[in-house]
Structure 1
Amino acid sequence: MKIIGFTGSPRREGNTAWTIDKILEGAKEKGAQTQSWYFSDLDIRPCGGCLGCHRGDHDRGCVINDDMQKLYGALKEADVLILGSPIYMGQMSAQAKMFTDRLFAQISPRFSPHFKESAVKKKLILVFTQGNPDSAMFQVYIDYTKRMFELLEFDVQGVHVVAGMRNEPARERKDLHAAMKEIGSSLVGT
C-alpha cells in the first residue's frame, strides 16, 4: 500500500507538516510505503483557466509545465492521499488551493479526457490545522471542502481538524503524537 502526504503550507517545519509527517509515520510503522510532498518546496502555478486539459491540447493533461507534473505521477501511484492545510482566512492555504485547482486537469471523469475510469475511487484524508481552539469554527468550509473532493470522485475517508495551534505548537502537544500516528496506522489495509 502506498500512502502519499501533501503538505499545503508555506512553512516546511510548521504544524501542518508535523501533523502529516506523524500520520505517515503511523502508516509506515504498519508496513505502508509512504512519500511526502511539501508545496513550499515546489513550483506550482495557479490554474490558468485555459481549458487546454479539457480539450486535450496536451498529452499530459495540464498545459502548465511546472512541478505539478511530478504530482500527477505520484497521484496515479497512490492508494491513499493525505492533504493537509492550515486554515488561513477561514479556508485552505493558497498553496493547497492551487494544488486543488490543478487537479481539474486529471482527476475527475466529468472534467478531464485524461482521467482513466477506475472501479476504485482514490482514497483521501483531509487534515486541517488552525490557531483557533474551536475545532468547529470553520465547519461550514470544511464540510464544503469534503463535498467538493467527493464531487471530484475521491473517497473521503476522514476529515481531521487539529485546533488550538496558536498557543502551543503541534509537536509539543503530547495528545497529538499518538492520535496522528493512529490515523496513519488505521489507513493500512483499508
Structure 2
Amino acid sequence: MNIIGIIASQREEGNTTFIVNKILEGAKKQGAETSTFSFSNLNIKPCRGCWACHKGDQGCVIKDDMQKIYDALEHADAIVLGLPIYMGQMSAQGKIFTDRLFARFSPRFSPFFKENAVKQKLILSFNQGNPDADLFKSYIDYTKHMFEVLEFDVKEVPVVTGLRNGPACEREDLHTGLKDFGSALVLEGCQK
C-alpha cells in the first residue's frame, strides 16, 4: 500500500507534522510505503479559477510544486491530510491544497475522473489549540462531507485538541493512538 502524507502547515516541526508522521509511522509498521509533502518547503500557489484544467487533458496549468503532489496522488492508495485549525477553519495552506484538487477530483467536470474507479482512502486529521473537541465539529463534519463528495473514502477524522497547553509530541496518549490510525488503514486495505 502506498500512502502519502500532506502537512498543510508552514511550521516545519509543528504539531501537524508530528501528527501526520505518527499516523504514517503506524502504516509503515504494517508494511506500507509512505512519503510526505509539507507546505513548509513547498511553493504552491492558489487556484486561479481559470478552468483550464477542465478544458482539455493538460491538467492544472499552474507549474509549481503541486505538480509533484498530483503525480504522487496518481499512485497513492491512501492520503493522510493534516490540517491545523486556524480561526475556526483549516489553515490557508490546507485551503490552497483543497482548492487545487479541483483539477483532479471534480467528478462532474474533470477529464481525469474515472467512472467506477476505486476511491482513495483518506485520513482527515485536524488539530487545534482549544480543548473542546466539539467546538469546530460542524466545520469538521462539513469538510469530511466535502471530501466524500470529491470521491474520497474518508476512513477516520481524528481531532487532536488542547494544543495550547503544550506540543503534541509531549503527549504520551497521542504516540500510540495516532500510530493505530495508520496501522488500521493498512490492515483494512489488506483484508479486501
Q: TM-score range by the shorter chain?
A: over 0.9
Please tell me whether the aligned partners of residues 130 and 163 of structure 2 are also in contact (alpha carbons under 8 angstroms).
yes
Confirm whether residue 75 of structure 1 aligns to residue 73 of structure 2.
yes
TM-score, normalized by length of structure 1? Answer: 0.96
Q: Secondary structure at the match of 1:16?
A: helix
Percent identical pairs in the alignment equals 64
Structure 2: 5+ residue stretches without partners:
none
Question: 1:183 Cα deviation (Å)?
Answer: 0.7
**Map of 2:24 onto structure 1:** 24
Q: Secondary structure at the match of 1:188?
A: helix
User: Aligned pairs, how many?
Assistant: 188
TM-score, normalized by length of structure 2? Answer: 0.95
Name the CA distance, whole Å, in 1 between partners of 2:169 and 2:115.
Answer: 40
Question: 1:10 Cα deviation (Å)?
Answer: 1.1
Please give the per-residue CA displacement for 1:153-181, whole angstroms capped at 9, x wherever unaligned: 11111111000000111000011000011
Question: 1:63 Cα deviation (Å)?
Answer: 0.8
Q: Secondary structure at the match of 1:189?
A: helix
**Map of 1:3 onto structure 2:** 3
Please tell me whether the aligned partners of residues 122 and 153 of structure 2 are also in contact (alpha carbons under 8 angstroms).
yes
**Map of 2:157 onto structure 1:** 159
**Map of 1:52 onto structure 2:** 52
Q: Secondary structure at the match of 1:145?
A: helix
The correspondence of residues 1-190 of structure 1 with structure 2, limited to 5 A, is 1-56=1-56, 59=58, 61-190=59-188
Q: What letter corresponds to residue 171 of structure 1 in structure 2? A: C
Q: What letter corresponds to residue 50 of structure 1 in structure 2? A: C
Name the CA distance, whole Å, in 1 between partners of 2:29 and 2:146.
Answer: 31
Question: 1:87 Cα deviation (Å)?
Answer: 0.2
Name the CA distance, whole Å, in 1 between partners of 2:53 and 2:67.
Answer: 13
